[in-house]
Amino acid sequence: MLIVSVAVLGWIWRTAPWGRLKDSSQLNLLLGFAVGLTLVWSLKAGVKPGLSLHMLGAMVAALTFGAQLGMLVLGLALTGICLNGAIEWQAWPINFVLMCVVPVFVASRIHALIERFLPAHFFIFIFVTGFVGAAVAVIIQGIVVSGALVLAGAYTTDFLLSEYLPFFLLLGFAEAWISGAVVTLLVVYRPGWVSTFDDRRYLNGK
């Protein structure tokens, strides 16, 4: 996972829209988002060691910052919980891939598919992408994490299916509500902060 993490970080370094962060409001938003996630992720909730459950914020990050900066902001939050001792530094690479790269990538792909196949409408952006998409991203991330745990021999498939994965349905519902609310507030009051929201596409002529 270290090689994958380094490769992703290299891709972020080369392709991220760093120019956006020259705007102090954008930089403050990114850092504030990272700090907020650090606090949320520091709350310990899990079934057994290695089976943590917490809000991801992946869809909001993907819609607000785009894929590269979205992965970066989640990576900063992950670094924050390493600094406060919630997880070990040795686990940073695999957690970066599973908690940051996978959910933001999935969220970005969901958004791209919705843009391609559904009408460009404000309510589709809010309720389908921001709400339903957030839940789907969390559930897929749970499936990927469970698969990684099975491959690593940490837990059996039967145990994860009965004692871990079902919680992601509840977590996905909670994530959907919070993600939908945050995205709604942002596009209503600060649409310029949401890099994937285009007034001309979603509002003009509607």
Per-residue pLDDT tens listing for the chain (206 residues): 789 999 999 999 999 999 999 999 999 999 999 999 998 888 765 556 556 667 789 999 999 999 999 999 999 999 999 998 878 888 899 999 999 999 999 999 999 999 999 988 889 999 999 999 999 999 999 899 889 989 988 888 898 888 888 888 888 888 999 999 999 999 989 988 999 998 777 776 55
pLDDT of residue 206: 54
Paired with 46 in beta bridges are 52
Radius of gyration over alpha carbons of the chain, in Å?
A: 17
Going by CATH, does the domain composed of 2-202 fall within 1.10.260.40? no
* pLDDT given for residue 69 in this prediction: 96
Positive or negative, the Cα torsion across 65, 71, 72, 76? Answer: positive
Question: Looking at residue 169, what is its pLDDT?
Answer: 84
Residues 6+ apart with CB under 8 A from 175: 55, 56, 57, 59, 134, 135, 137, 138
Residue 46: the pLDDT is 56
Residue 52, number of CB atoms within 10 A of its CB: 18
pTM confidence score? 0.91
The phi, psi pair for 70, rounded to 5°, reads -65, -45
Give the pair of three-digit tokens for residue 12.
């972020």
Q: What are the structural domain ranges in the chain?
A: 2-202
